[in-house]
Chains A and B, each alone.
Chain A
Amino acid sequence: MSNVGIVIVSHSPLVAEGTADMVRQMVGDEVPLAWCGGNGHGGLGTNVEAIIGAIDKAWSEAGVAILVDLGGAETNSEMAVEMIGEPRAHKIIVCNAPIVEGAVMAATEASGGASLREVVATAHELSPS
């Protein structure tokens, strides 16, 4: 699939899965999509290994946009991108947007074949600057 992929990273697996469910139902299957949530030990949190796995799963040559919830999700996502390294790292962007609205809007944009830059810009429009 050549559309930009979407990755959802929440502290809660329920929030991440629910957000992914909304994307699937509202946008459809035209967008590579993966989610992860939880600290890997049954509690709330995010972990780098799971985020790398989700990026791999939603990988697209057009790039991947990551939507996150609280601070640690962003820190861990940025760490994951750095560990993946080039040549893929520059095609992965952590969005500054609310997780649910951002995921749905970014996926909508991506489903029409928009570039990574356009997808990320659409998500960012949701954030007060």
Chain B
Amino acid sequence: MSAETMVKTGTMVKVDLKTLISVTADTIAAHADELTALDQAIGDGDHGLNMKRGFEAVRAEAEGFAAKPLPEALKAIGTKLVMTVGGASGPLFGTLFMALGKEISAEPDRANLAMAFGKAIEAVAARGKSQVGQKTMLDVLQPVHEALLQGKTAAEIADVVDRAADATVPMKALRGRASFLGDRSIGHMDAGGRSVALLVRAVVESIEGHA
């Protein structure tokens, strides 16, 4: 996840992977009940618990991940998430990290990060057979990618993800369990999108705090 170490425009901001694992696991744990409540409204109600289990499993092996080069670390974290999150979120969030690890360089610059993030989003879209506009995590990931390409600051990106998660509320779900509800999915925030927003915000705030 130190992939996101480059979000601050211009200079390289070094944040160690252990810190990023810790702040992301913290935010998921702190919001697990909220994520579950969102998922109960239009899904099967296990998203918070599943994400928490996965990110705690990553936290438990933070030392080992942090010892690897960035690409290998991200791939290993993705695999761990696939195996521990479960549900449909496991492969989707796992694929995000695995694909990011596949594309990113060991010491990424902003351009490499933006490219790798774009490829990772494509991999998630392929895994979920989904696209932007269907009320999924892609609707929060895509604005992050655009913000990275536009050279937005960490604070701006934190703002972008919150607005993107809010923007899933009026959408009608076209993929996943929520799509079974049709129009009744309108008016609820997508739980996966909210998770992405929490993760990205935690990462960029951590980086800003260290800058």
List chain A positions with a Cβ less than 8 A from chain B. 39-41, 43-49, 70-72, 75-76, 78-79, 83
Residue-by-residue, is B152-183 near A (CB-CB < 8 Å gives 1, otherwise 0)? 00000000000000000000000111000000
Given A75-B127, A78-B127, A83-B79, residue A45 in contact with residue B91 (CB < 8 A): no
Chain A residues within 8 Å of B88, by CB? 71-72, 75-76
Complex CA distance for A72 and B90, rounded to whole angstroms: 10
Chain B residues within 8 Å of A72, by CB? 87-88, 177
Q: How many A-B residue pairs have CB under 8 A?
A: 47
Complex CA distance for A49 and B82, rounded to whole angstroms: 9
Chain B residues within 8 Å of A39, by CB? 46, 86-87
Residue-by-residue, is B27-69 near A (CB-CB < 8 Å gives 1, otherwise 0)? 0000000000000000010100000000000000000000000
Chain A min CB distance to B170 (Å): 23
Chain B residues within 8 Å of A70, by CB? 177
From A40, A41, A43, A76, give the contact of B91 (CB < 8 A). Answer: A76
Q: List 13 A-B contacts (CB under 8 A).
A: A41-B86, A44-B44, A45-B46, A45-B86, A46-B87, A48-B82, A48-B90, A72-B88, A75-B91, A75-B92, A76-B88, A78-B127, A83-B79
Please state if A83 and B128 are interface contacts (CB–CB under 8 Å). Answer: no
